Amino acid sequence: MKLIVGGKTKTVPDSVTVAELLELEKVETPGYVSVQVNDKFVRREDFAAFRLSESDRVELMYFMGGGRSRCG
Q: Any idea what the CATH number is for the domain that residue 38 is in?
A: 3.10.20.30
Residue 67 in any domain: the answer is no
Residue 68 in any domain: the answer is no
Residue 58 in any domain: the answer is yes
Contacts (Cβ under 8 Å, ≥6 apart) of 15: 1, 51, 52
Which tens digits make up the pLDDT trace of 48-68?
A: 999 999 999 999 998 766 656
Q: Domain range for residue 56?
A: 2-62
pLDDT at residue 63, as a whole number: 74
> In the predicted model, what is the mean pLDDT of the chain?
91
Residue 70 in any domain: the answer is no
| Confidence bin at 30 (pLDDT 50/70/90) | confident
Structural domains in the chain (count): 1
Q: Cα separation of 45 and 2, whole Å?
A: 24
pLDDT at residue 53, as a whole number: 97
Residue 42 in any domain: the answer is yes
Residue 20 has a CB neighbour count (10 Å cut-off) of 16
pLDDT at residue 71, as a whole number: 60
Residue 21 in any domain: the answer is yes
